[in-house]
Amino acid sequence: MKKTKTTPFKINGERDFSLHLSNLDQHDKIAKIAKALSSPTRLKIINILKNTTMSIQEISDTLDIPASSTALHIKNLEEAGLIITESQPGMHGSMRVCTCSMQSLYLQTFDSETDSTNNMLTMDIPIGSYFQCEISPTCGLADENGIIDTYDNVKSFYSPQRMHAQLIWFQKGFIEYRFPNIDNPLLDLHELSFLMEICSEAPGYQEVWPSDITISINGYELHTYRSPGDYGARRGKLTPSTWPNGRTQYGLLKTFSVRNDGGYLDGELVNRNINIALLDIQKNPYITLRIEIKENARYVGGINIFGEKYGDYPQGITMQMVY
């Protein structure tokens, strides 16, 4: 089969789908996606379109199915928002060209852990599950067996093994997480918090080594926290034996919160220019958390981020929603 030359086209809109059964407004979309994914043939179509563009005729020839059936499958996938199509010039007039518009799909089928007394939703994610990063050495990642890939190599931050990371460090730049938006739109959100164990990043370790760590939520700066140092004088309570002495061992557990009246660090008001309404939580199916060491910070002292198997606290990065 000779492949028809097609022109790649720009994909606009959200490519990461995060849906929740508790959100009644999303039920129609969930049903359309479920219907679209219920066919083995449509799954094959998504698979062949994930890295390329093809015409309906090319898809038909590749899968050895009638063009009329292919067109119906494409219609189902497009209605679900899983692929997009556009008309392009062909050898005999115009042709319909298709590509996959979905990058990831997350369906929350149960409510997150709920504290009935405080009306709190809690979600903990692994530190290696960041959405994007732009960092500079010194840098690295480690799991419970030791270093992942190599030291001071930015490429290691794109390794599939990063998902197993239990310790992440870098000198400057940012790392960004996208938490599934588990907010219940029927309730009044009073507080959004992120809890993480962090410290500065020094050669070896230095108990006094200040670093200015900026935390942003949904693109709005909450606060720049000045970390006092990089702690390694004693072993972390959870740090595995494979991690040597003389290096970072543990951090401090910090809580960054946004309430209706401002931003808070460990329960203390630090920023009156941010609030829950400003974050526009319902705008996206995810909530963005950025952890950053700015190049122009007074103290560019790096950062260590601890997972559940390093440091003193058995957690990754925890998001809390209080109603």
DSSP strands (E only) in the chain: 16-20, 54-55, 83-90, 93-100, 104-108, 113-115, 120-125, 132-143, 146-147, 167-180, 191-199, 211-217, 220-227, 252-259, 262-265, 268-271, 286-293, 303-306, 317-322
What is the pLDDT at residue 94? 78
Rg (CA), the chain: 23
For residue 141, pLDDT over 50 is answered with yes
What is the pLDDT at residue 185? 78
What is the pLDDT at residue 114? 46
Look at 78-87, 286-295, 304-313 and tell me which has the smallest mean pLDDT. 78-87
Percent of the chain clearing pLDDT 70 (strictly above): 90
Percent of the chain clearing pLDDT 90 (strictly above): 71
Selected residue with higher pLDDT from 114 and 316? 316
Q: What is the mean pLDDT of the chain?
A: 89
For residue 107, pLDDT over 60 is answered with yes
Selected residue with higher pLDDT from 304 and 19? 304
For residue 295, pLDDT over 70 is answered with yes
CATH of domain 16-106: 1.10.10.10
What is the pLDDT at residue 8? 56
DSSP class of residue 95 equals: E
Stretch 160-175: mean pLDDT: 97
Q: Which residues, in sequence order, are bridge partners of residue 254?
A: 196
What is the pLDDT at residue 96? 85
Residue ranges per structural domain of the chain:
16-106, 111-322
Amino acid at 28: D
For residue 1, pLDDT over 80 is answered with no
Q: Which CATH architecture has domain 111-322?
A: Sandwich (2.60)
CB atoms near residue 70 (< 10 Å): 22
For residue 4, pLDDT over 70 is answered with no
Stretch 89-117: mean pLDDT: 69
Stretch 256-266: mean pLDDT: 96
Stretch 292-313: mean pLDDT: 97
For residue 25, pLDDT over 90 is answered with no
Place 164 in a pLDDT band, splitting at 50, 70 and 90.
very high
Place 182 in a pLDDT band, splitting at 50, 70 and 90.
confident
What is the pLDDT at residue 118? 56
Stretch 108-125: mean pLDDT: 67
Stretch 189-216: mean pLDDT: 97
What is the pLDDT at residue 115? 47
For residue 37, pLDDT over 70 is answered with yes
For residue 2, pLDDT over 60 is answered with no
What is the pLDDT at residue 50? 82
Place 251 in a pLDDT band, splitting at 50, 70 and 90.
very high
Phi, psi of 22, rounded to the nearest 5 degrees: -75, -15
For residue 13, pLDDT over 60 is answered with no
User: DSSP letters of 133-165?
Assistant: EEEEEEEEEEETTEESS-TT-GGGGGSGGGGG-
